[in-house]
């Protein structure tokens, strides 16, 4: 099925009208979004599975099962909230990277953004631009880490000061 989705650009040339432009942009977004989701979703699944496997043998889960709770209920109410913290960290780190622009996806699919600007700054080379973008990328990751640290006490009462 080659040619089903466009592989470059943000919209078809010559499209006029708000609705037609929005539909064209959405059609052009399918492959870049699918690429980013496939990579990031696999990371989430692996981290969450690993965290749940670590929590599986915890004493509080054994106690909950001994009280007569079903395994699904024990997992949903007890194991998942405790295993969620590493996944929350990964979500906020990935948000920081999305803010910085996904350099490879923007370059491959010809989408304008910070990633494309960074790549063109490397090709020229424009070291001032590259250094400035590094500062922006680092600031976005640091800001998202700060937000993750602020969300932790809302998710897990053990982390509260």
d(CA 73, CA 96): 33
36 falls within a domain: yes
29 falls within a domain: yes
- CA 24 to chain CA centroid, Å, is 24
What rounded mean pLDDT belongs to the chain?
84
Q: What is the value of pTM for the model shown?
A: 0.69
pLDDT tens digit sequence for 1-45: 567 887 777 777 878 888 888 988 888 888 888 888 887 888 888
Over residues 97-104, the mean pLDDT reads 74
Q: How far apart are the first and last CA of the chain?
A: 56
Q: What is the pLDDT of residue 101?
A: 64
31 falls within a domain: yes
3 falls within a domain: no
Buried b vs exposed e over 89-120: b needs ≥16 C-beta within 10 Å? bbbbebbbbeebbbbebbbebebebbbbbbbe
pLDDT tens digit sequence for 123-153: 999 999 999 998 988 888 888 889 988 888 8
How many domains is the chain partitioned into structurally? 1
151 falls within a domain: yes
Range from 89-93, 99-103, 118-122 carrying the lowest mean pLDDT: 99-103
60 falls within a domain: yes
11 falls within a domain: no
Residue 84 belongs to what domain range?
A: 18-159
Name which residue leads in pLDDT, 160 or 86.
Answer: 86
7 falls within a domain: no
């Amino acid at each position: 099925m080659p040619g089903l989705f466009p592989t470059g650009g943000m919209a078809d040339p010559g499209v006029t009208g708000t609705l037609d432009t929005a539909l064209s942009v959405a059609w052009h977004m399918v492959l870049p979004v699918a690429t980013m989701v496939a990579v990031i979703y696999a990371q989430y699944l692996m981290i969450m599975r690993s965290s749940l496997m670590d929590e599986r043998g915890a004493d509080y889960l054994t106690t909950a099962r001994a009280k007569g709770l079903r395994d699904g209920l024990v997992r949903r109410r007890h194991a998942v909230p405790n295993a969620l913290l590493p996944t929350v960290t990964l979500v906020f780190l990935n948000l920081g990277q999305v803010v910085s622009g996904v350099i490879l996806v923007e370059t491959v699919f010809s989408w304008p953004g910070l990633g494309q600007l960074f790549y063109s700054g490397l090709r020229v080379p424009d070291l001032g631009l590259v250094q400035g973008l590094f500062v922006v990328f680092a600031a976005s990751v640091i800001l998202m880490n700060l937000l993750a640290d602020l969300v932790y006490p809302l998710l897990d009462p053990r982390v509260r000061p």
